[in-house]
Structure 1
Amino acid sequence: MTVSTSAPEEGVAVVMVDFPPVNALPAQGWYDLAAAVRAAGTDPKVRCVVLTAVGRGFNAGVDIKEMQRADGPGALIAANRGCFEAFAAVYDCQVPVVAAVQGFCLGGGVGLVGNADAVVASEDAVFGLPELDRGALGAATHLARLVPQHLMRVLYYTSRTVTAQELHRHGSVWQVVPREQLQDAARQLAGEIAAKDGELIRLAKAAINGIDPVDVRRSYRFEQGFTFEADLSGIGRRIRDTFGTKEERRSAERHS
């Protein structure tokens, strides 16, 4: 289970997430991701960051099983803080961040992608917030940066997903490519951005964040308060207690 950083070409840093089996991150994983993105963004040689992952999907959100193993609210607090740090690190990264998304991008994955500067996706990529099915709330802030308001609400309330092709039509995904071309396409876009002057691209990122109509940090923190309220009331744990059972049933149905 790792978060690694490489420099495949001049000016570009690739932050790679690898948390088998589905890239559902434990609390420490979110902190590790935040640290890697921040470090890449502060490197004076880096002018663009590619955020990507190994495996079937880009990100499956928070490790629900980690929270269920814990007594008390400590695990939820750690997950909330870790997600907040990771999402903020992507948004506040001193240089543009290109998200390269394959397969599923769920929950916290939407938080990362919604705060990125550009998204390149594979043809099999799907995006969604299954939070209500997992006893949580949050990341509507980031889904609202990918789709129009009313679509965001329907997706949020139903836990449905939206395809990369649909997001491309909305203009929030830059390019949709076959999976085998994803890394090359993301790095090509990153290389085009990295060809700009390093100091000027940092000023451009700060300027664009400065005119953002929504403070994503404050908005997401507000959402997290309702996640905590659901947990304190017992609603969150009651729904999460059924999560493993549902997953096992789906797995059995797939293999029957």
Structure 2
Amino acid sequence: MGVHLHSGTVTEVVFDFPPVNALPAAGWTELAEALATAGAEPDTRVVVLAAEGRGFCAGVDIKEMQRSPGHEALLAANRGCAAAFAAVYECPVPVIAAVQGFCLGGGVGLVGNADLIVAADDAVIGLPEVDRGALGAATHLSRLVPPQLMRTMVYTCRTVSAHDLHRYGTVLSVVPAAELRKAAREVAEEIAAKDPVVIRRAKEALNGIDPVDVKRSYRFEQGFTFELNLSGAGDRARQRFVEGR
């Protein structure tokens, strides 16, 4: 359980928070720190971001929020998510996301900021935030699906499959789940064989020409989550989720 770092030319950052990889607040911070450590290592040429279990990520641990008094857990989770998403985006080398099963909420923030995505054939992504009384990661979903579909997914909380994302060109390849980590590593090794100085400058250049500042955009979204909590709507939605209503 936790975040594990497997260093090398291709460094793997693997997280595991059973049963569904709904990360607690501390888990998001731990993930951000692991990604920063991986990127800071001079020998690292590519990072593969992966998860253990049947799903990649179910987002934040809502039950942790509801059993914690006040808003401390909520604030910690929001800051942790922002840090983890930024760590993917700002990693000085390419980050490849290896995605299986469900990728929801905060998982979309991680994957949407990755440089490349390899997905298992059972992978689906979605933002259930509206049903949870929160907003966020539409910034990252907009990097994966067309604009009107992104809006539909936010309003309805529908998911899309890895096969759909492959058709849009935002997922590089879709493979059987048993071959996911191998497929991600093959692409990583292809990139790692390039001149590392050139690849690092390429990552910096590509971030520099992005039309949207993903950090600022995401924090703007989070502001509405705070507003929903002040109004009481956020707490009501989270409690319905915890109670299974």
User: What TM-score comes out, normalization by structure 2 length?
Assistant: 0.99
Match of 1:101? 99
Match of 1:68? 66
Residues 73-106 of structure 1: CA deviation (Å, up to 9, x unaligned): 1111101000000000000000000000000000
Q: Which 4+ stretches in 1 moved above 4 angstroms?
A: none
> Secondary structure of 1:121's partner?
strand
Q: Which of 191, 199, 206 is residue 204 of structure 2 equivalent to?
A: 206
Contact persistence 1:40–1:49 (CA under 8 A): yes
Match of 1:80? 78
Distance 2:41 2:198 in 1: 15
Match of 1:90? 88
Deviates more, 1:237-246 or 1:185-194: 237-246
Q: Report how far residue 245 of structure 1 moved.
A: 2.3
Contact persistence 1:56–1:102 (CA under 8 A): yes
Q: Report how far residue 6 of structure 1 moved.
A: 0.8
Distance 2:81 2:102 in 1: 18
RMSD: 0.8
> Secondary structure of 1:147's partner?
coil
Q: Which of 165, 177, 201 is residue 175 of structure 2 equivalent to?
A: 177
Match of 2:141? 143
Distance 1:225 1:76 in 2: 12
Distance 2:11 2:71 in 1: 36
Distance 2:127 2:188 in 1: 27
> Which amino acid in the other structure matches residue 105 of structure 1?
C
Match of 1:252? none
Among all aligned residue pairs of Structure 1 and Structure 2, give the percentage whose two residues are the same amino acid.
67
Distance 1:117 1:183 in 2: 16
> Which amino acid in the other structure matches residue 172 of structure 1?
T
Q: Report how far residue 135 of structure 1 moved.
A: 1.3
* Alignment of 1:4 onto 2:4: yes
Match of 2:40? 42
> Which amino acid in the other structure matches residue 187 of structure 2?
L
Match of 1:134? 132
